[in-house]
A and B are shown apart, each in its own frame.
Chain A
Amino acid sequence: MGVLLGLEGEATDAEVVRAVLAGDVERYAVLVRRYRDRYARYASRMLGSRDVAEDAVQDALVRAFDRLADCREPHKFAGWLFLILRNRCFAEKRRRQRQERPLDSADEMFAAPDRPDGDYEQVERAHALERALQHLTPEQREVFVLKHTEGLAYEEIAGVTGATVASLKMRMHRAYDRLRELMKEHL
């Protein structure tokens, strides 16, 4: 069964998934290009390192290909891939905790961008926030990243994580208190 597709941008996720499942393995590159950077910021903020995030995104994309036949709703490939990446990020954090290698001590910690106005204090505070985020629980860090970095509403976060809005708010509010404690020298 062949699926004829026009320009890459016109093919829906579901069309590409069906083409790949029908044997057109090369079509998977369309999904790789479409999602490789979309979730990179989430993974970077969750893991505290761009390089570790790149490994996580790569693994998630390969794992998604391996399990593509299990994707019940191909039109929701993006959300399905996000769950795979999310599991991968949580597993990586647990692995690091077991090995007592917190990512914020790694040399590869990514830097906050330089501000054109040269506000050194602002840059320092951004660095401090990135370090502080690594001291939150993975669940608290995730809700902070999705809300304040990715700009999602609580209802949208509930949709992608499966948690209730009430529990997300509770996590977020505990995270605010913890961040205030961790950032007290920068406030």
Chain B
Amino acid sequence: MTTGYHPLVKRLLDGELSLAELPPELRAEGEEALHLVGVADRTPVALSPALEERVMAAVRHHAASRDPVSPGNRAWRWLNTPRDVELRLRVRPWTVWAGALAAAAALALLLGRPAPQPMPGPQARGSTRDSVLVRFVLYAPGAHRVAVAGTFNQWDRGAAPLVPAGRSGVWTTTLALPVGQHQYAFVVDGARWVVDPGAPAVDDGFGRRNSVVAVTAHGAQL
């Protein structure tokens, strides 16, 4: 029956000690252990040149079997994709002040009204034929930034920021989502992924959870 290696020999194999640092009585065992791991085959393994074509054939087949994007859907996506636009305006100073006063008055009116109680989970707001407006709500007091990222925006954590509702800690945004099932999560302060407490969640297969919303022509379903 062979006994296991001495703990110091294991540290030698881990690269934490050198052979010279072992006590003399363990050096023979250390050399034997180095022989054992020294024959590990490190030569590169080349796969068949045909692999790439096989993968691409499967990929093309899978892509073709997915639902084709309708021209209407494509046009909606084009219209809905955020773009940087530079505006140059020539204004008279009094118009700026008048506009600012009007905005302040409107804000005061809005803040004076009791805020509606936000419901957790995404809520459908209205719909066009191919997409539905879905409202996302997260209660995240103390957060500096909140965004929603999901399969509908290629998990781009900067594409859909939520807006804070005053100092209530509630963050909201409304997005036009195409009909279908979408997975998503909130991104708090650009780094922390948070599932929606008001929506069902599924395992993404890699140890994390994604929230799920099913968008139909009649609204969003949890």
Q: Show the binding face of A for B, using Cβ within 8 Å.
A: 1, 17-18, 21, 23, 25-26, 28-29, 32-33, 36-37, 40-41, 43-45, 50, 53-54, 57-58, 61-62, 65-67, 69-74, 80, 83, 87, 110, 112-113, 122, 125-126, 129-130, 144, 147-149, 151, 154, 162, 169, 172-173, 176-177, 179-181, 183-184, 187
A169 vs B32: C-alpha distance when bound (angstroms)? 20
Given contacts A80-B206, A148-B37, A169-B14, contact A33 B46 (CB under 8 A): no
B155 on the A face (CB < 8 A): yes
Q: Show the binding face of B for A, using Cβ within 8 Å.
A: 2, 4-5, 7, 9-10, 13-14, 32-33, 35-37, 39-48, 51-52, 54-56, 58-60, 62-63, 69, 78, 81, 149, 151, 154-155, 183, 185, 193, 204-207, 210
Residue contact B47 to A67, C-beta cutoff 8 Å = no
Residue contact A58 to B33, C-beta cutoff 8 Å = no
Point out which of B42, B62, B154, B207 has the most chain A C-beta atoms below 10 A from its C-beta. Answer: B154
Partner of A70, one of B13, B45, B151: B151
A177 vs B41: C-alpha distance when bound (angstroms)? 19
Residue contact B40 to A180, C-beta cutoff 8 Å = no
Given contacts A18-B154, A37-B47, A162-B207, contact A125 B39 (CB under 8 A): yes
Given contacts A40-B47, A149-B42, A177-B5, contact A61 B151 (CB under 8 A): no
With a cutoff of 8 Å between Cβ atoms, the chain B residues found around residue A72 in the complex are 149, 155, 185, 193
Closest A-chain residue to B63, C-beta based? Answer: A25
Known: A36-B55, A112-B41. 11 other contacts (CB 8 A): A29-B52, A37-B47, A44-B45, A62-B58, A70-B155, A70-B183, A70-B205, A73-B155, A126-B41, A130-B41, A148-B37
- Do most interface residues of chain A lie in helix, strand or loop, or is the interface mixed? helix
Residue contact A176 to B44, C-beta cutoff 8 Å = no
Residue contact A40 to B45, C-beta cutoff 8 Å = yes
Residue contact B39 to A129, C-beta cutoff 8 Å = yes
Partner of A66, one of B47, B51, B62, B183: B62
A130 vs B40: C-alpha distance when bound (angstroms)? 8
> How many A-B pairs fall under 8 Å by CB?
136
Partner of A148, one of B2, B40, B46, B54: B40
Closest 3 CB pairs of A and B: A177-B4, A72-B155, A40-B45
With a cutoff of 8 Å between Cβ atoms, the chain B residues found around residue A62 in the complex are 55, 58-59, 62
With a cutoff of 8 Å between Cβ atoms, the chain B residues found around residue A57 in the complex are 47, 51
Residue contact B36 to A25, C-beta cutoff 8 Å = no
With a cutoff of 8 Å between Cβ atoms, the chain B residues found around residue A184 in the complex are 2
Given contacts A29-B52, A67-B205, A169-B14, contact A176 B5 (CB under 8 A): yes
Residue contact B4 to A87, C-beta cutoff 8 Å = no
Given contacts A87-B205, A173-B10, contact A1 B47 (CB under 8 A): no
Residue contact B52 to A54, C-beta cutoff 8 Å = no
With a cutoff of 8 Å between Cβ atoms, the chain A residues found around residue B204 in the complex are 70
In the assembled complex, the CB of A71 is this many whole angstroms from the nearest CB of chain B, namely 7
With a cutoff of 8 Å between Cβ atoms, the chain B residues found around residue A53 in the complex are 45, 47
A149 vs B149: C-alpha distance when bound (angstroms)? 37
Residue contact B45 to A41, C-beta cutoff 8 Å = yes
A40 vs B52: C-alpha distance when bound (angstroms)? 13
Residue contact A37 to B46, C-beta cutoff 8 Å = yes
With a cutoff of 8 Å between Cβ atoms, the chain A residues found around residue B210 in the complex are 70
A187 vs B151: C-alpha distance when bound (angstroms)? 54
Residue contact A28 to B149, C-beta cutoff 8 Å = no
Residue contact B44 to A37, C-beta cutoff 8 Å = yes
With a cutoff of 8 Å between Cβ atoms, the chain A residues found around residue B81 in the complex are 1
With a cutoff of 8 Å between Cβ atoms, the chain B residues found around residue A130 in the complex are 41
